[in-house]
Amino acid sequence: MSQSLFADAMTRLDKALQHVSISPEAIERLRYPKASLSVSIPVRLDSGELKVFQGYRVRYDDTRGPTKGGIRYHPNVSLDEVQSLAFWMTFKCAAIGIPFGGAKGGIAVNPKALSRMELERLSRGYIDAIADFIGPDTDIPAPDVYTNATIMGWMMDQYSIISRRFSPAVVTGKPTAIGGSLGRETATAMGAYFVIRSLMTKHQKLPQVTTVAIQGFGNAGAVLAQLLYEAGYKVVAVSDSKGAIYNPQGLDIPSVRAYQQAHKGIEAVYCEESVCNLGDRQLLTNSELLTLDVDVLVPAALENQITLANAHEVKAKFIFEVANGPVNSAADLILQQNGVCVVPDILVNSGGVTVSYFEWLQNRSGLYWSLEDINQRLQEKMEAETSQIIDLAEELSLSLRTAAYVHALKRLAAAIEAKGTQQYFAQS
């Protein structure tokens, strides 16, 4: 790309600012991350070799509360990416109305090339390096791309060792046996499902006649595919990093998930099998999946999947961003001109951080909720905020993305301005 991911992310802020009146000081604060940390993590490999990995953590804004955001393990992790994701998390927490600011972290690594013991040493080493930067009242990490409950458990345990006290609230997305919340692993998909159902109901699209393609068959994408399948939607295509499978009559999603689970081994950290190995389906590339003639397209993999290069080829009527930043700003303009309704990531995938908030509350209080209670609270929150953003979009004639940013900006600006601005202090 000619510009950085962060510069592209900032264009969404600039567009939203045209539709809301807030103080210049609030705008200035939101253009810069509060703190950024780059660390080196030396890891002794099983072979005896020492290898150093580069890690990052960014706290973008904590005006509304301690910062919150996932940790991803991926070869392409960079400070620019982590800063952009922290920016999006800031707006996501504000849009969904939970009292957190935004943060993000990551390590530049191919986790599938590491053994389980190497992965544990890397995870604990990362916490050793950033322990002074995080904390239950400061910054609370969570899972993201290629991290999971096991890894979060290692991180929580390492922080507890360093702080010399059991600290479950420092990390969310942990195993339930050590303070994790019921419903956390399915929260992103469940939240996305509630948003999709709300929008499809509003547009009078019945599940039985609504076709769906999902790019990304990881935790969020696979669970969402299952939820949509069970609700009667026709999921015609899914993909993972190796490619896609497509059946215009609809895929048997339970069979696809069962195949993937059966081939990864009961103790594996990552699945090593591809959905592409399933027979009797048409094989596609990930790029081809994005241009299928379907009603609903769900990018649930990585950022920058729909760009200036392929936006004209998108045929879906609705795009629900389960991944962070899968549609860049240049593509947004093309999709809007072509009548495609893009429902933004800061709303669609906010179920994960919402249930992370529930987990944090449970850790702090020592009182734990039932799965039914958690899902009910999540549904109420997702549907209420979706309704407000839809109403704002209609009231101001905005896209849903811009409406979501305006919705978040109002809350962020109110918190910043509550601490005093030039206008307040200049009064005699």
* 127 CB-contact burial (10 Å; exposed 0-12 / middle 13-18 / buried 19+): buried
174 has catalytic annotation: no
Determine which helix (DSSP H) or strand (DSSP E) holds 36, and give its type and residue range.
strand 35-44
CB atoms within 10 A of CB 304: 16
Check 34, 104, 205, 381 and give the catalytic one.
Answer: 104
Token pair for 58: 């960014």
Contact 397, 84 (CB under 8 A): no
Beta bridge partners of 54: 40
DSSP, residue by residue, 207-246: GGG-EEEEE--SHHHHHHHHHHHHTT-EEEEEEETTEEEE
CA angle 286, 243, 289 (to 5 degrees): 30
Contact 321, 341 (CB under 8 A): no
Question: What's the rounded Cα separation, in Å, for the pair 363 and 346?
Answer: 25
Active site members:
104
